[in-house]
Amino acid sequence: MSSDTLAHGHVFLAPGHERSERKTWAVIWLCGLMMVAEIVGGTMFGSVALIADGLHMSTHAGALLIAALAYTYARRHATDPRFSFGTGKLGDLAGFTSAIILAMIALLIGYEAVSRLLSPVPINFNQAIPIAIFGLAVNVASAWLLSGGDHGHHHGHGHPHGEAEGEDEVRRVDTVWGPLVLEVFEDGVPPRFRLHDGLGGVEPASAWMGATVETQRPDGSRQLFRFVDRGAYLESIEEIPEPHEFDASLSISRAGLEEFHEVSFEEHDHGHGEPNAKTHRDNNFRAALVHVIADAAVSVLVIAGLILARQFGWLWIDPLVGVVGALVIANWSFGLIRDTGAILLDMNADGSLAKRIREALEGDGDRLADLHLWRLGPGHLGAIVSVSTPATRDAGFYRAKLSRFGALSHVTVEVRPS
């Protein structure tokens, strides 16, 4: 029996972690300033409604504070060895906590709304409507600060380094001369292999006796790719035909020493299916945004209810709107609790990926005896695989097969003779 683990660090934070942290703190400052202004203004002008809205704003800021503190703590302790799998899950814990708070808010709104349906109370429309409009403006501004035009994904066919989607066609190779990167590059040009050190260059091609790549596709066809010096990198002369799904044998020769490396490429999915979206989703940021959007949605409902109640004398419509708002918030809260709870309990993070891992490893007598797949943080998955094989193969053989899955950040392979 043999086992092996991919060399890795334990920093499993989202690529935009610090940017999301700054946005969340900015919204907290906005809510804090509005809270102080409302409470001070309500005290000076004797408006109980204004004070009440200021206190409501304080609960809003408190919920966002959970997200901001989680971002800050996770960043500062990302390399702390006490966390066996890093601090990437701290955002999911914060999201779960925020979801519980949202559920409590929904219950309170629902209770108050039902109470007012049974025992209607007079409404001061001249105070309530402007305050509701003011609250909506604050929530819209908060949502704008949080989103900031960032959609969370980069679309298009080019694949720059470091982006979650681009990593589908980038493979790291550890050689005796140091780490190298073999990638399929197609950003505005016909797709070709590029070989470099990952930092933008390699030694002059004259230092290399040769580098070639031979691909083998699922149908058994093979193709040889030769490389030429492009200054900052070595590039294949031949273009790579679609689809980009094949096993690649990289041969590097230098100073009388020759190395061979096996890597696999998989045709990446340009769509954003639900399993992949959940893998990369930042639930901490999602929880903060849900708080803001939920508050904005309730503000819109409240404004509509108040206007109808004032226009037609329907006092019952205001608490009815409260019931609807409570149901909307409860639904969003349930979705957050379901998704973050699954992550905290280490449920299978991606059923589709688990199926593709099985397909990649099984064959030629090999059988996947055990698979554990869980989320370590946004865009980072951990996997423990146990393969039963009648052949003499080491863990490195199966590591190469798994290298095509860019989301696998922590992989342990166990090989058992069948």
Residue 23 and residue 138 in one domain: yes
Give domain status of residue 271, yes or no: no
CATH number assigned to the domain comprising residue 184: 2.60.40.1930
Residue 21 and residue 123 in one domain: yes
Residue 286 and residue 408 in one domain: no
Residue 32 and residue 144 in one domain: yes
Give domain status of residue 2, yes or no: no
Give domain status of residue 275, yes or no: no
Residue 48 and residue 140 in one domain: yes
Residue 26 and residue 58 in one domain: yes
pTM above 0.75, yes or no: no
Give me the average pLDDT of each 10-residue run along the chain (418 residues).
54 75 85 78 59 67 84 84 84 88 84 80 70 79 70 36 47 81 80 77 55 86 89 87 84 83 70 52 81 77 77 75 81 87 85 83 86 86 90 84 81 87
pLDDT for res 17: 80
Residue 320 and residue 355 in one domain: no
Residue 218 and residue 234 in one domain: yes
Give domain status of residue 196, yes or no: yes
Beta bridge partners of 368: 387
Which residue has 């601090």 as its token pair? Answer: 87
pLDDT for res 212: 92
Residue 115 and residue 243 in one domain: no
Boundary (domain end) residue, out of 344, 370, 397:
344
Beta bridge partners of 308: none
Residue 138 and residue 79 in one domain: yes
Give domain status of residue 4, yes or no: no
Axis crossing angle, helix 90-118 with helix 317-344, rounded to the nearest 10? 160
Q: Pull the structure tokens for residue 94.
A: 């914060």
Give residue 228's domain range.
166-265
Number of structural domains, the chain?
A: 3
pLDDT for res 342: 87
Boundary (domain end) residue, out of 326, 344, 362:
344
Give domain status of residue 112, yes or no: yes
Q: Pull the structure tokens for residue 8.
A: 């890795």
Residue 236 and residue 184 in one domain: yes
CATH number assigned to the domain comprising residue 394: 3.30.70.1350
Boundary (domain end) residue, out of 344, 364, 390:
344
Cα–Cα nearest to 164, from 172, 154, 156: 154
CA 298 to CA 102: how far, in whole Å?
13
pLDDT for res 278: 67
What is the per-residue DSSP string for 173-224? EEETTEEEEEEEE-SSS--EEEEE-SSS--S-GGG-SEEEEEEE-TTS-EEE
Cα–Cα nearest to 353, from 415, 410, 405: 405
Residue 145 and residue 24 in one domain: yes
Give domain status of residue 60, yes or no: yes
